[in-house]
Structure 1
Amino acid sequence: MSVQADYYELLGVERNADGATLKSAYRKLAMQYHPDRNPGCQDSEAKFKAINQAYDCLKDDQKRAAYDRFGHAAFENGGPGGGNGFGGGAGFSDLGDIFESIFGAAGFGGAAAGGRGRQQRRGADLRYDMEISLEDAFAGRTEEITIDVSARCDDCDGSGATPGTGSRTCSTCHGHGQVRAQQGFFVVERTCPSCHGAGQVIEEPCRSCRGEGRVDKRKTLSVNIPAGVDEGTRIRLAGEGEAGARGAPAGDLYIFLHMKRHKVFERDGTTLFCRAPVSFTTAALGGEIEVPGLDRQTVKIKIPAGIQSGKQLRHRGAGMPALNGRGGRGDMVVQIDVETPTRLTPKQKELLQAFRETETGEECPQSTGFFSKLKEMWDDLG
């Protein structure tokens, strides 16, 4: 098949066809004649190359105008509309669309593979793990941290070029930041090895950053920890991550919070839990205990008479604050542990002995019930 065939006839469109019509016709034919669908067929291979060449010309307004006026002669011997130095064939993003239709996006690297033009690569995000106390989580605070990070070079202001000098368009990719190479029937696009995707080549690299536009620095940052944070809370410091190369945007710094173990309290969301020992006389007669809160205010807990070990008493509004102040404060839950005295004076022993002599069994119904059940069990066995 002659490569001099009329481009419009090759694509099967009218000479006044718009861009959408051209693309639709091209995609349909490219899928039909793609070598992977016609293995070993030389006619299909030639047809595939011809329609790529036709579409490459007609999709470009300047090339199309030259072709409409001069025909194929426009591209011979360096004539009007000749090559642009960036490789022939259909645009890579258009081939990417065809390959995606045939193989699926995952098989050809997805949409990211089809990007064209110069791209600024954002700097990397960083992570910092910070341990704070429960008191800090309750009240909030401002903490200063020191990190080692790649930051914008002050000498060249991140450009990578020595002050007073500039950069020029990369001669390898002509400013596109990417180059193409044909591998068999495929056109593969990759980052330009000369400019590393920047599209520009620095004439005289900055001595401080060696042309990178960034240098290693130690920075001290202030981190605002709001009240109500919990284990795993993440705080984002925008633009405080790694600086991008040659003036590209910096990444972010993420602070991950971890709670130190508290001596008294355990936490579940906005609820604070603690255990409080009380004397057996207070448990028997009732009374009141005082528990110091995280806000340094004393929380008074009333003990009802006859309370048992393990009983939990709830005090509303004495727990942790909700993050960002939404929902107020949670509760404090105090678990009562009745403590048996181990150091008694003779007088106390005498009083306890006198009390025991007056016991009828009705004072401690749980004990009486337990032993009654044991007796019934042995009676049944007998």
Structure 2
Amino acid sequence: MAKRDYYEVLGIDKNAGPDEIKKAYRKLALKYHPDKNPGDPSAEDRFKEAAEAYEVLSNPEKKQRYDQFGHQGLGGNGGFGGGGMNMDDIFSQFGDIFGGGGFDSFFGGGGRSSRRTKKGTNLRVKLKLNLSELANGVEKKIKVKRHMIADGVTFKNCSTCQGSGQVKKVVNTMLGQMVSASTCPSCEGSGQVVDKRPPNADARGLVVKEEIIPINIPAGVADGMQLSLSGKGNEIPGGVPGDLLILVEEIPDDVLVRDGNNVVYDLYLSFVDVALGASLEVPTIDGKVKIKIEPGTQAGKILRLKGKGIKELNGYGRGDQLIHVNVWTPKEVTREEREKLESLRDSENFKPNPGKSEKSIFDKVKEFF
């Protein structure tokens, strides 16, 4: 099922500011929270949908990519992008939205919201890709250094929180006794502390290891996109690993230029070639191909190679290659060449005569867009 527009999910317009985005999400999170709607799968789906929308729109970089590319700009399927949040990811947002106490102040600290799985920190790397790799997709291997739980480490329940990850305090108020809960300072919410560890591990039982991680880059990614590989960030005791975030950088091509899903190539021909016609090779993303220049081709004409552009991200379509025809004029000619050209100067066939039916360059460009 296609995802709904994130602005539609939160009920806001595209010009909404950070405060308005946060307010809209807070309202929906309270309305569809699973503890308020037990046994209602549709409410839980709306709860997750709102959280995913907020996770993207509250992040300036992700919001910019979403505004420019839509859901595809976030990576879509295959473990990449901003989608696919689990309940732990969602509850990790509540410190920002509900002032650090999460839903405890609204639901009494009970239920699903009282215990959250901690998540390790994310790792960020830059990956440079050439135009062919961006267009067709590629498998790459990235070398990263990440914190990992050392071999031989054992854990035990935290004595401060008895393994719950939270410490609770009863406060007497005029309305009666109220229970407040906060993250355990001893185990930082994991519920566990190190029991035994090898000499090379730190106090948390972690070591830094270098790992080579294979990743499949989907066809159609663009410069500036950020891909996410789940679970390949830093590990954390009693929690889940963070993610590996890959920022895509495009290596400029020497002759081809990307324009959306199309590829543009400037072809320079002599006036002899455009007058008499020619058969020649031009570069494409997938190698050289032969094209035919018809006699009488005018400067500014745009030729189209169907399907020789960029594959659509997570789709089945593919852009085209547009060839801009330019006529190259020699700066120097020999005496013999000058005499030949002078003999053609007064020929009717060599005098500009576009005629009424000839289209302007602007009309020709419009035909393609």
TM-score by length of 2: 0.59
Tell me how far apart the structure 2 counterparts of residues 363 and 274 of structure 1 sit (CA, whole Å).
29
Post-superposition CA distance 1:3-38 (Å, at most 9, x none): xxxxxxxxxxxxxxxxx9xxxxxxxxxxxxxxxxxx
In the other structure, the counterpart of 1:279 is 270
Post-superposition CA distance 1:27-75 (Å, at most 9, x none): xxxxxxxxxxxxxxxxxxxxxxxxxxxxxxxxxxxxxxxxxxxxxxxxx
CA displacement at 1:330 relative to structure 2:
2.2
Tell me how far apart the structure 1 counterparts of residues 322 and 292 of structure 2 sit (CA, whole Å).
10
Tell me how far apart the structure 2 counterparts of residues 169 and 320 of structure 1 sit (CA, whole Å).
54
Q: Which moved more, 1:282-291 or 1:111-120?
A: 111-120
In the other structure, the counterpart of 1:173 is 161
CA displacement at 1:209 relative to structure 2:
2.6
Q: Would the alpha carbon gap of residues 352 and 205 (structure 1) be closer, same or farther in structure 2, given more than 3 Å must change?
A: closer
Tell me how far apart the structure 2 counterparts of residues 224 and 107 of structure 1 sit (CA, whole Å).
38
1:120 is aligned to 2:117: yes
Tell me how far apart the structure 2 counterparts of residues 123 and 355 of structure 1 sit (CA, whole Å).
77
Q: Would the alpha carbon gap of residues 174 and 138 (structure 1) be closer, same or farther in structure 2, given more than 3 Å must change?
A: closer
1:102-113 equivalence runs, <5 A: 106=98, 109-111=101-103
Q: Would the alpha carbon gap of residues 299 and 256 (structure 1) be closer, same or farther in structure 2, given more than 3 Å must change?
A: farther
In the other structure, the counterpart of 2:344 is 355
**Match of residue 315, structure 1, among 305, 308, 314:** 305
**Match of residue 353, structure 2, among 365, 371, 378:** 365
CA displacement at 1:206 relative to structure 2:
4.9
Q: Would the alpha carbon gap of residues 299 and 324 (structure 1) be closer, same or farther in structure 2, given more than 3 Å must change?
A: farther
Aligned length: 251
Tell me how far apart the structure 1 counterparts of residues 348 and 327 of structure 2 sit (CA, whole Å).
22
Tell me how far apart the structure 1 counterparts of residues 219 and 163 of structure 2 sit (CA, whole Å).
50
- Secondary structure, in 3 states, of the residue corresponding to 2:287? coil
1:129 is aligned to 2:126: yes
Tell me how far apart the structure 2 counterparts of residues 339 and 229 of structure 1 sit (CA, whole Å).
35
Tell me how far apart the structure 2 counterparts of residues 203 and 341 of structure 1 sit (CA, whole Å).
81
Tell me how far apart the structure 1 counterparts of residues 193 and 324 of structure 2 sit (CA, whole Å).
70
**Match of residue 305, structure 1, among 270, 275, 296:** 296
Q: Would the alpha carbon gap of residues 194 and 345 (structure 1) be closer, same or farther in structure 2, given more than 3 Å must change?
A: closer
CA displacement at 1:272 relative to structure 2:
0.9
Tell me how far apart the structure 1 counterparts of residues 263 and 100 of structure 2 sit (CA, whole Å).
53
In the other structure, the counterpart of 1:334 is 323
- Secondary structure, in 3 states, of the residue corresponding to 2:272? helix
Post-superposition CA distance 1:232-255 (Å, at most 9, x none): 3443322111102x2421122122
Sequence identity (%):
32
CA displacement at 1:223 relative to structure 2:
2.1
1:43-122 equivalence runs, <5 A: 106=98, 109-111=101-103, 115=109, 118-122=115-119
1:144 is aligned to 2:136: no
1:344 is aligned to 2:312: no
CA displacement at 1:360 relative to structure 2:
5.3
CA displacement at 1:351 relative to structure 2:
0.9
TM-score by length of 1: 0.57
In the other structure, the counterpart of 1:238 is 230
In the other structure, the counterpart of 2:184 is 192
RMSD, matched Cα: 3.1
CA displacement at 1:215 relative to structure 2:
1.8
- Amino acid in the other structure paired with 2:258: R
> Which ranges of structure 1 fall in alignment gaps of 5 or more residues?
1-19, 21-104, 162-166, 368-382
**Match of residue 250, structure 1, among 238, 241, 253:** 241
Q: Would the alpha carbon gap of residues 195 and 319 (structure 1) be closer, same or farther in structure 2, given more than 3 Å must change?
A: closer
> Is this contact kept in 2: 1:287–1:305, CA < 8 A?
no
- Amino acid in the other structure paired with 1:141: V
- Amino acid in the other structure paired with 1:173: C
In the other structure, the counterpart of 1:72 is none
Q: Would the alpha carbon gap of residues 295 and 201 (structure 1) be closer, same or farther in structure 2, given more than 3 Å must change?
A: closer
Q: Which moved more, 1:265-274 or 1:279-288?
A: 279-288
Poorly superposed stretches of 4+, deviation over 6 Å: none
> Which ranges of structure 2 fall in alignment gaps of 5 or more residues?
1-35, 37-96, 356-369
> Is this contact kept in 1: 2:190–2:239, CA < 8 A?
no
- Amino acid in the other structure paired with 1:178: Q
CA displacement at 1:155 relative to structure 2:
2.5
Tell me how far apart the structure 2 counterparts of residues 123 and 286 of structure 1 sit (CA, whole Å).
64
Larger Rg: 1
- Secondary structure, in 3 states, of the residue corresponding to 1:365? coil
- Secondary structure, in 3 states, of the residue corresponding to 1:224? strand
> Is this contact kept in 2: 1:179–1:189, CA < 8 A?
yes
Q: Would the alpha carbon gap of residues 354 and 200 (structure 1) be closer, same or farther in structure 2, given more than 3 Å must change?
A: closer
Post-superposition CA distance 1:305-362 (Å, at most 9, x none): 0512x221112122233345612x3211111111112232222111111111x24598
> Is this contact kept in 1: 2:219–2:311, CA < 8 A?
yes
**Match of residue 294, structure 1, among 285, 288, 291:** 285
